[in-house]
Amino acid sequence: MSDVQDNRPSPAMIRVRQILEAGEPRDRASEAFDTFILTLIILNVAAIAAETISPVYRSAPAFFRWFEIFSVAVFTVEYVLRVWSAPAEVRYRSPVWGRLRFAVTPMALVDLLAILPFYLPFLGVDLRFIRAFRLVRLLRIGKLTRYTGALYTLGRVILARKEELLTVAFILFLLLVVTSSLMYFAEHTAQPEAFSSIPKAMWWGVTMLTSTDIDGAIPVTPLGRALAVVIAFFGVGLFALPTGILGAAFTEEIARQEREASPEKCPRCGQVLKPPEP
Protein backbone atom coordinates (compact mmCIF):
# COMPACT_ATOMS: atom_id res chain seq x y z
CA MET A 1 0.00 0.00 0.00
CA SER A 2 2.85 2.35 0.86
CA ASP A 3 4.49 1.67 -2.52
CA VAL A 4 1.30 2.69 -4.31
CA GLN A 5 1.13 5.90 -2.29
CA ASP A 6 4.82 6.63 -2.96
CA ASN A 7 4.16 6.33 -6.70
CA ARG A 8 1.38 8.86 -6.65
CA PRO A 9 2.39 12.05 -8.46
CA SER A 10 2.60 15.26 -6.50
CA PRO A 11 0.16 18.12 -7.16
CA ALA A 12 3.02 20.12 -8.68
CA MET A 13 3.83 17.28 -11.09
CA ILE A 14 0.19 16.95 -12.10
CA ARG A 15 -0.11 20.69 -12.71
CA VAL A 16 3.06 20.78 -14.81
CA ARG A 17 1.73 17.89 -16.87
CA GLN A 18 -1.57 19.66 -17.41
CA ILE A 19 0.22 22.76 -18.66
CA LEU A 20 2.59 20.83 -20.92
CA GLU A 21 -0.01 18.47 -22.34
CA ALA A 22 -3.77 18.99 -22.46
CA GLY A 23 -5.19 20.98 -19.57
CA GLU A 24 -8.79 21.67 -18.76
CA PRO A 25 -10.80 23.79 -21.20
CA ARG A 26 -10.05 27.50 -20.74
CA ASP A 27 -6.84 26.68 -18.86
CA ARG A 28 -5.08 29.96 -19.54
CA ALA A 29 -1.67 28.73 -18.42
CA SER A 30 -1.81 25.74 -20.77
CA GLU A 31 -3.10 27.88 -23.66
CA ALA A 32 -0.40 30.50 -23.07
CA PHE A 33 2.32 27.83 -22.99
CA ASP A 34 1.06 26.20 -26.18
CA THR A 35 0.91 29.54 -27.96
CA PHE A 36 4.42 30.47 -26.82
CA ILE A 37 5.93 27.14 -27.90
CA LEU A 38 4.09 27.18 -31.22
CA THR A 39 5.35 30.71 -31.94
CA LEU A 40 8.90 29.75 -30.99
CA ILE A 41 8.80 26.67 -33.24
CA ILE A 42 7.57 28.70 -36.21
CA LEU A 43 10.27 31.33 -35.61
CA ASN A 44 12.87 28.55 -35.41
CA VAL A 45 11.78 27.12 -38.75
CA ALA A 46 11.97 30.61 -40.27
CA ALA A 47 15.38 31.28 -38.70
CA ILE A 48 16.81 27.98 -39.92
CA ALA A 49 15.68 28.78 -43.45
CA ALA A 50 16.98 32.35 -43.22
CA GLU A 51 20.41 31.16 -42.07
CA THR A 52 20.92 29.44 -45.40
CA ILE A 53 20.61 32.81 -47.19
CA SER A 54 24.15 34.13 -46.95
CA PRO A 55 23.39 37.91 -47.07
CA VAL A 56 20.75 37.56 -44.35
CA TYR A 57 22.96 35.49 -42.08
CA ARG A 58 26.00 37.74 -42.55
CA SER A 59 23.95 40.79 -41.62
CA ALA A 60 23.22 39.49 -38.10
CA PRO A 61 25.17 36.33 -37.17
CA ALA A 62 25.07 37.17 -33.44
CA PHE A 63 21.28 37.39 -33.51
CA PHE A 64 20.96 33.92 -35.03
CA ARG A 65 23.43 32.51 -32.51
CA TRP A 66 21.73 33.97 -29.45
CA PHE A 67 18.28 33.07 -30.78
CA GLU A 68 19.50 29.48 -31.17
CA ILE A 69 20.84 29.47 -27.61
CA PHE A 70 17.56 30.86 -26.26
CA SER A 71 15.50 28.37 -28.25
CA VAL A 72 17.59 25.39 -27.18
CA ALA A 73 17.37 26.52 -23.56
CA VAL A 74 13.56 26.71 -23.75
CA PHE A 75 13.24 23.38 -25.57
CA THR A 76 15.64 21.74 -23.11
CA VAL A 77 13.64 22.91 -20.09
CA GLU A 78 10.45 21.77 -21.80
CA TYR A 79 11.92 18.33 -22.55
CA VAL A 80 13.19 17.87 -19.00
CA LEU A 81 9.82 18.90 -17.55
CA ARG A 82 7.99 16.52 -19.89
CA VAL A 83 10.17 13.60 -18.80
CA TRP A 84 9.94 14.61 -15.14
CA SER A 85 6.14 14.95 -15.18
CA ALA A 86 5.50 11.78 -17.20
CA PRO A 87 4.52 9.73 -14.07
CA ALA A 88 1.52 12.06 -13.69
CA GLU A 89 -0.11 9.88 -16.37
CA VAL A 90 -1.26 6.42 -15.35
CA ARG A 91 0.54 4.69 -18.23
CA TYR A 92 3.86 6.19 -17.08
CA ARG A 93 3.22 5.93 -13.34
CA SER A 94 6.51 4.20 -12.47
CA PRO A 95 9.10 6.85 -11.49
CA VAL A 96 11.92 5.17 -13.42
CA TRP A 97 10.48 2.82 -16.03
CA GLY A 98 7.56 5.15 -16.69
CA ARG A 99 9.90 7.99 -17.59
CA LEU A 100 11.98 5.66 -19.74
CA ARG A 101 8.87 4.48 -21.60
CA PHE A 102 7.87 8.10 -22.19
CA ALA A 103 11.39 9.00 -23.36
CA VAL A 104 11.21 6.47 -26.22
CA THR A 105 7.81 7.59 -27.50
CA PRO A 106 7.95 9.13 -31.01
CA MET A 107 7.21 12.71 -29.95
CA ALA A 108 9.66 12.55 -27.03
CA LEU A 109 12.35 11.36 -29.43
CA VAL A 110 11.53 14.27 -31.75
CA ASP A 111 11.88 16.65 -28.79
CA LEU A 112 15.28 15.13 -28.01
CA LEU A 113 16.49 15.27 -31.61
CA ALA A 114 15.44 18.93 -31.79
CA ILE A 115 18.03 19.88 -29.13
CA LEU A 116 20.63 17.13 -29.46
CA PRO A 117 22.61 18.72 -32.35
CA PHE A 118 23.29 21.77 -30.18
CA TYR A 119 24.93 19.64 -27.48
CA LEU A 120 26.61 17.20 -29.87
CA PRO A 121 28.17 19.37 -32.59
CA PHE A 122 30.44 16.54 -33.70
CA LEU A 123 27.44 14.90 -35.40
CA GLY A 124 28.15 17.13 -38.39
CA VAL A 125 24.53 17.11 -39.61
CA ASP A 126 22.04 19.88 -38.91
CA LEU A 127 18.91 18.16 -37.61
CA ARG A 128 17.19 21.28 -36.28
CA PHE A 129 14.56 21.21 -39.02
CA ILE A 130 13.08 18.21 -37.17
CA ARG A 131 11.53 20.81 -34.85
CA ALA A 132 8.84 21.27 -37.47
CA PHE A 133 7.49 17.84 -36.47
CA ARG A 134 6.65 19.31 -33.06
CA LEU A 135 3.82 21.22 -34.68
CA VAL A 136 1.89 17.95 -34.71
CA ARG A 137 1.67 18.04 -30.92
CA LEU A 138 0.29 21.57 -30.99
CA LEU A 139 -2.70 20.77 -33.20
CA ARG A 140 -4.71 20.81 -29.97
CA ILE A 141 -4.26 24.59 -29.68
CA GLY A 142 -7.59 26.32 -29.88
CA LYS A 143 -9.42 23.00 -30.17
CA LEU A 144 -11.77 23.47 -33.02
CA THR A 145 -15.48 23.17 -32.41
CA ARG A 146 -18.30 22.61 -34.84
CA TYR A 147 -19.87 25.72 -36.29
CA THR A 148 -23.64 25.55 -36.39
CA GLY A 149 -24.74 29.05 -37.42
CA ALA A 150 -23.47 29.31 -40.97
CA LEU A 151 -25.91 30.64 -43.56
CA TYR A 152 -24.18 29.44 -46.67
CA THR A 153 -23.53 25.89 -47.76
CA LEU A 154 -19.88 26.53 -48.55
CA GLY A 155 -19.25 28.00 -45.13
CA ARG A 156 -20.99 25.08 -43.44
CA VAL A 157 -19.01 22.56 -45.46
CA ILE A 158 -15.63 24.12 -44.71
CA LEU A 159 -16.40 24.54 -41.04
CA ALA A 160 -17.74 21.00 -40.77
CA ARG A 161 -14.49 19.63 -42.19
CA LYS A 162 -12.07 22.20 -40.80
CA GLU A 163 -10.28 19.70 -38.59
CA GLU A 164 -9.60 17.34 -41.49
CA LEU A 165 -8.54 20.22 -43.75
CA LEU A 166 -6.20 21.67 -41.12
CA THR A 167 -4.70 18.23 -40.58
CA VAL A 168 -4.00 17.88 -44.31
CA ALA A 169 -2.53 21.39 -44.39
CA PHE A 170 -0.20 20.61 -41.49
CA ILE A 171 0.88 17.34 -43.11
CA LEU A 172 1.64 19.18 -46.37
CA PHE A 173 3.60 21.84 -44.51
CA LEU A 174 5.63 19.25 -42.59
CA LEU A 175 6.31 17.30 -45.77
CA LEU A 176 7.42 20.47 -47.54
CA VAL A 177 9.77 21.57 -44.75
CA VAL A 178 11.38 18.17 -44.24
CA THR A 179 11.77 17.20 -47.89
CA SER A 180 13.03 20.65 -48.90
CA SER A 181 15.59 20.60 -46.10
CA LEU A 182 16.74 17.12 -47.04
CA MET A 183 16.88 18.12 -50.71
CA TYR A 184 19.02 21.17 -49.80
CA PHE A 185 21.54 18.99 -47.95
CA ALA A 186 21.50 16.40 -50.75
CA GLU A 187 21.86 18.78 -53.72
CA HIS A 188 23.53 21.93 -52.38
CA THR A 189 27.07 20.66 -53.03
CA ALA A 190 26.28 19.33 -56.50
CA GLN A 191 24.07 22.30 -57.54
CA PRO A 192 24.93 25.32 -55.35
CA GLU A 193 22.99 27.72 -57.58
CA ALA A 194 19.79 25.69 -58.02
CA PHE A 195 19.67 24.73 -54.33
CA SER A 196 21.44 27.69 -52.75
CA SER A 197 19.21 27.83 -49.66
CA ILE A 198 16.39 26.03 -47.90
CA PRO A 199 13.80 28.63 -49.02
CA LYS A 200 14.82 28.06 -52.64
CA ALA A 201 14.61 24.32 -52.06
CA MET A 202 11.15 24.88 -50.56
CA TRP A 203 10.08 26.64 -53.75
CA TRP A 204 11.32 23.59 -55.66
CA GLY A 205 9.33 21.42 -53.23
CA VAL A 206 6.15 23.43 -53.85
CA THR A 207 6.50 23.06 -57.60
CA MET A 208 7.06 19.33 -57.19
CA LEU A 209 4.10 18.85 -54.82
CA THR A 210 1.82 20.78 -57.17
CA SER A 211 3.20 19.04 -60.28
CA THR A 212 4.08 22.36 -61.93
CA ASP A 213 7.23 23.50 -63.75
CA ILE A 214 10.36 23.05 -61.61
CA ASP A 215 12.33 25.79 -63.41
CA GLY A 216 14.91 23.35 -64.73
CA ALA A 217 16.14 22.39 -61.24
CA ILE A 218 16.49 18.64 -61.57
CA PRO A 219 18.14 16.55 -58.82
CA VAL A 220 21.36 14.92 -59.97
CA THR A 221 22.46 12.97 -56.88
CA PRO A 222 21.00 9.52 -56.14
CA LEU A 223 19.57 10.74 -52.82
CA GLY A 224 18.07 13.81 -54.48
CA ARG A 225 16.40 11.74 -57.19
CA ALA A 226 15.02 9.32 -54.61
CA LEU A 227 13.59 12.23 -52.63
CA ALA A 228 12.04 13.68 -55.78
CA VAL A 229 10.23 10.40 -56.41
CA VAL A 230 8.92 10.33 -52.83
CA ILE A 231 7.79 13.97 -53.01
CA ALA A 232 5.99 13.45 -56.31
CA PHE A 233 4.28 10.30 -55.03
CA PHE A 234 3.04 11.85 -51.80
CA GLY A 235 2.17 15.15 -53.49
CA VAL A 236 -0.37 13.56 -55.81
CA GLY A 237 -2.08 11.74 -52.94
CA LEU A 238 -2.04 14.58 -50.40
CA PHE A 239 -3.39 17.20 -52.79
CA ALA A 240 -6.24 14.85 -53.71
CA LEU A 241 -7.29 14.57 -50.04
CA PRO A 242 -8.89 18.05 -49.71
CA THR A 243 -10.94 17.41 -52.87
CA GLY A 244 -12.29 14.17 -51.46
CA ILE A 245 -12.97 15.71 -48.05
CA LEU A 246 -14.88 18.67 -49.49
CA GLY A 247 -16.75 16.49 -51.98
CA ALA A 248 -18.01 14.16 -49.25
CA ALA A 249 -18.91 17.13 -47.05
CA PHE A 250 -20.92 18.76 -49.84
CA THR A 251 -22.85 15.52 -50.37
CA GLU A 252 -23.66 15.24 -46.68
CA GLU A 253 -24.65 18.91 -46.39
CA ILE A 254 -26.96 18.77 -49.40
CA ALA A 255 -28.60 15.59 -48.08
CA ARG A 256 -29.09 17.23 -44.68
CA GLN A 257 -30.67 20.31 -46.22
CA GLU A 258 -33.03 18.15 -48.27
CA ARG A 259 -34.11 16.23 -45.19
CA GLU A 260 -34.78 19.43 -43.29
CA ALA A 261 -36.65 21.04 -46.22
CA SER A 262 -39.07 18.18 -46.91
CA PRO A 263 -41.13 16.40 -44.25
CA GLU A 264 -40.91 12.65 -43.86
CA LYS A 265 -44.02 10.97 -45.31
CA CYS A 266 -45.47 7.50 -45.11
CA PRO A 267 -44.68 5.65 -48.39
CA ARG A 268 -48.20 4.08 -48.40
CA CYS A 269 -50.64 6.79 -47.39
CA GLY A 270 -48.52 9.91 -47.86
CA GLN A 271 -49.25 11.19 -44.35
CA VAL A 272 -46.58 13.39 -42.79
CA LEU A 273 -44.73 11.37 -40.16
CA LYS A 274 -42.31 14.04 -39.00
CA PRO A 275 -42.50 17.76 -39.72
CA PRO A 276 -39.38 19.48 -41.05
CA GLU A 277 -37.07 21.04 -38.53
CA PRO A 278 -37.46 24.82 -38.23
SS3 helix, strand, coil % of the chain, rounded to 5?
A: 70, 0, 25
* pLDDT for residue 271: 62
Average pLDDT over residues 202-222: 73
Greatest mean pLDDT range, 58-67, 117-126, 190-199, 216-225: 58-67
* pLDDT for residue 2: 47
pLDDT at 135 over 60: no
**Which CATH number fits the domain 144-278, given the four candidates 3.40.1440.10, 1.10.287.70, 1.10.10.10, 3.40.50.2020?**
1.10.287.70
* pLDDT for residue 233: 79
Distance of alpha carbon 209 from alpha carbon 196, whole angstroms = 20
Distance of alpha carbon 100 from alpha carbon 151, whole angstroms = 51
* pLDDT for residue 11: 87
For residues 114 and 34, the answer to whether their CB atoms sit within 8 Å is no
SS3 171: helix
* pLDDT for residue 216: 58
Query: How many residues are present in the chain?
Result: 278
What CATH number has the domain spanning 6-140? Answer: 1.20.120.350
Distance of alpha carbon 69 from alpha carbon 50, whole angstroms = 16
pLDDT digits (tens, 9 = 90+) for 41-61: 888 888 888 888 889 889 989
Average pLDDT over residues 117-144: 54
Higher pLDDT, 253 or 22: 253
Cβ-defined contacts of 51-55 (< 8 Å, 24+):
52/184, 52/196, 52/197, 52/198, 52/199, 53/197, 53/199, 54/197
pLDDT digits (tens, 9 = 90+) for 144-175: 332 233 445 767 777 778 888 888 888 888 88
Radius of gyration of the CA atoms of the chain, in A? 25
* pLDDT for residue 160: 78
pLDDT at 23 over 90: no
Average pLDDT over residues 80-98: 89
Distance of alpha carbon 181 from alpha carbon 171, whole angstroms = 15
Per-domain residue ranges of the chain: 6-140, 144-278
Q: Which residues contact 109 (CB under 8 A, 6 or more apart)?
A: 103
Distance of alpha carbon 90 from alpha carbon 67, whole angstroms = 36
